[in-house]
Amino acid sequence: MSDVVSLKVETESVELRLLNAAEAILESEGPDSLSVRRIAKAAGVAPMGVYNHFEGKMGIIDALFRRGFARLGAAMSSLVEIENPLEALAEGGRRYRSLGLAHPMAYQLMFLRPVPGFNPSIESAKVATAAFEGLINAVRRAAALDLLRDLDAVVTAQILWASYHGWVALEICGLGFVSDVDAGAEALGAAIWMGIANPNLVINE
Amino acid sequence: MSDVVSLKVETESVELRLLNAAEAILESEGPDSLSVRRIAKAAGVAPMGVYNHFEGKMGIIDALFRRGFARLGAAMSSLVEIENPLEALAEGGRRYRSLGLAHPMAYQLMFLRPVPGFNPSIESAKVATAAFEGLINAVRRAAALDLLRDLDAVVTAQILWASYHGWVALEICGLGFVSDVDAGAEALGAAIWMGIANPNLVINE
DNA sequence: CAGGTAAGTAGAACACTGTTCTATATATCC
DNA sequence: GGATATATAGAACAGTGTTCTACTTACCTG
């Protein structure tokens, strides 16, 4: 039987080819270029392939959405390897921003609603929420050492996320009026840290 | 000559009808429903009217974009009527959020990318930037009284904006994991204030 | 006033879009 | 082998933004 090559492997390859083609188009040309025919042509199949494997355009967008959040989740979950909780939090912010800047188109797809009619599936929404577990965990570690203001860890994590998200989104869209965005991002990080840190710790500084 | 009704007035009315129709559709059905034919039909004219008066779909989207920022600009510029600079800054954040929540679809059009191919015109980008003059002014007032950390006023204003923008955008898109978003927004405001305030002032509290 | 020009108007045509339909091919099972 | 399910390519369909066409209206000039 070793001479028989199952075409099921090839079937999986079509799905992967479509998804990789879509990702390449997204990264190089932006979400506006993600048409069914464009993706299918780049993958070397007929447009119906998108329907056979992803149930349509929204299905393949959903898969790209999940890829983006999986990437973010990996960056956040590895914060646990950083022993110092303060450093882990600061690194969380830095990683969030650098990921966004490294993948601006994926960032838009994840957060800025660029594809009309697209709503994440329930599965994808779970992946998206899970992506922040690492950050929430880092917040909890810092809180356990009394390093933070007396706020719910989930609220603190969302404040961190919202602030960086806002900054990165403005940055990616070219909005804003500061001249040095890198220095601005540092200042934002410092301000947020001042805002969530245990006031007694700040006083002792 | 008072009996002669110039049809130029009627011409302006077509443009206004189109724009008002577009705004109504945006607010009630969202940006995905802003098709040229949909807008024209709602305004009672042929689709070519969008091209005659706005040079096409992107032109009328541009006009909606400007309306949104004009509304925001008015809310920010009236902060000058609030004598206490601290109260003005806090009110700026509250107004930003309440405007976003009152006009979620306009907010998306202004800050997310819901319309494929749309980029603000140079004129609109100016209106957008000018919308924050009131906020920057309020920051400058507080800084002049030594109430803020030693940061450039423009950077401080963008930190404020980015933080609230991030929070409101997540809120509007239904993203996030806190259960009480109102309390979360208050906590965000408090954290940001701690982050931008003059440390000596915070110590004295 | 008549003629010329510019701009607005409605409706039709065009290329592109997401989706569905049709016919065929392939894989699997009995 | 036949039956069934699924994948495949290509075509058809309705909706999209845009352009084209023909006509109308407003304005200006001689």
- Chain A residues lying within 8 Å of B191, measured CB to CB: 149, 159, 192, 195-196
- Chain A residues lying within 8 Å of B165, measured CB to CB: 166, 169-170
| pLDDT band at B199; cut points 50, 70, 90 | confident
- Amino acid at residue number A5: V
| pLDDT band at A202; cut points 50, 70, 90 | low
Q: Quick one: tokens of B20?
A: 């008002």
The minimum CA-CA distance between B68 and chain A, rounded to whole Å, is 15
Q: How far is the CA of A86 from the C1' of D20 (A)?
A: 65
Q: How far is the CA of B109 from the C1' of D24 (A)?
A: 37
Q: Convert the pLDDT of each residue in B76-113 to its tens digit.
A: 999 999 999 989 999 999 999 999 999 999 999 999 99
Residue B2 predicted with pLDDT over 50? no
Residue A4 predicted with pLDDT over 80? no
User: A23 with A64: CB under 8 angstroms?
Assistant: yes
Q: Convert the pLDDT of each residue in A47-80 to its tens digit.
A: 999 999 999 999 999 999 999 999 999 999 999 9
The pLDDT of A129-156, averaged and rounded, is: 95
Residue A6 predicted with pLDDT over 70? no
DSSP class of residue B197 equals: B
Q: Which nucleotide is nearest to A59 (CA to C1')?
A: C18
| pLDDT band at A167; cut points 50, 70, 90 | very high
- Chain B residues lying within 8 Å of A184, measured CB to CB: 155, 158-159
Q: Convert the pLDDT of each residue in A173-195 to its tens digit.
A: 999 999 999 999 999 999 999 99
- At residue A119, what are phi and psi to the nearest 5 degrees? -130, 135
User: B153 with B143: CB under 8 angstroms?
Assistant: yes
Residue A204 predicted with pLDDT over 60? no
| pLDDT band at B184; cut points 50, 70, 90 | very high
Residue A142 predicted with pLDDT over 80? yes
The minimum CA-CA distance between A51 and chain B, rounded to whole Å, is 22
What secondary structure, in 3-state letters, does chain A show? CCCCCCHHHHHHHHHHHHHHHHHHHHHHHCHHHCCHHHHHHHHCCCCHHHHHHHCCHHHHHHHHHHHHHHHHHHHHHHHHHCCCHHHHHHHHHHHHHHHHHHCHHHHHHHHCCCCCCCCCCHHHHHHHHHCCHHHHHHHHHHHHCCCECCCCHHHHHHHHHHHHHHHHHHHHHCCCCCCCHHHHHHHHHHHHHHHHECHHHHHHC
Chain D nucleotides reached by a protein CB under 7 Å: 6-11, 15-21, 25-27
| pLDDT band at A12; cut points 50, 70, 90 | low
Query: Closest residue to D19 by CA to C1' distance?
Result: B48
**Type and span of the H or E element at B103:** none
Residue B4 predicted with pLDDT over 50? no
Please name every residue paired with B197 in a beta bridge, in sequence order, or none if there are none: B148
> Measured on CA atoms in the order B46, B48, B54, B60, is the torsion positive or negative?
positive
| pLDDT band at A1; cut points 50, 70, 90 | very low
Per DSSP, the three-state class of B77 is helix
At residue A201, the pLDDT reads 74
Question: Mean pLDDT for chain B?
Answer: 91
Structural domains in chain A, CATH included, are: 1-55 (1.10.10.60), 64-204 (1.10.357.10)
ipTM over 0.85: yes
- CA B149/CA B170 separation, integer angstroms: 28
The pLDDT of B128-140, averaged and rounded, is: 96
Question: Mean pLDDT for chain A?
Answer: 90
Residue B204 predicted with pLDDT over 70? no
- At residue B146, what are phi and psi to the nearest 5 degrees? 60, 30
State what percent of residues in chain B have pLDDT above 90. 88
**Which of B's residues 133-192 have CB atoms within 7 A of nucleic strand C?**
none
Are the beta carbons of B113 and A173 separated by less than 8 Å? Answer: yes
The pLDDT of A6-35, averaged and rounded, is: 82
Pick from B154, B163, B166: CB nearest A178: B154
What secondary structure, in 3-state letters, does B109-133 show? HHHCCCCCCCCCCHHHHHHHHHCCH
Output helix, strand, coil percentages for chain B, rounded to the nearest 5: 75, 0, 25
Residue B166 predicted with pLDDT over 90? yes
Are the beta carbons of A151 and B187 separated by less than 8 Å? Answer: yes
Q: How far is the CA of B41 from the C1' of C9 (A)?
A: 14
Residue A83 predicted with pLDDT over 60? yes
The minimum CA-CA distance between B11 and chain A, rounded to whole Å, is 32
Residue B144 predicted with pLDDT over 80? yes
Q: Convert the pLDDT of each residue in A25-53 to its tens digit.
A: 999 999 999 999 999 999 999 999 999 99
At residue B25, the pLDDT reads 96
Q: How far is the CA of B51 from the C1' of D21 (A)?
A: 16
Encode A170-186: b = buried (16+ Cβ within 10 Å), e = exposed.
bbbbebbbbeebeebbe
Are the beta carbons of B177 and A132 separated by less than 8 Å? Answer: yes
Pick from B112, B136, B149: CB nearest A113: B112
| pLDDT band at B200; cut points 50, 70, 90 | confident
Size of interface A-B (CB pairs under 8 A): 146
Q: How far is the CA of A72 from the C1' of D10 (A)?
A: 40
The minimum CA-CA distance between B181 and chain A, rounded to whole Å, is 9
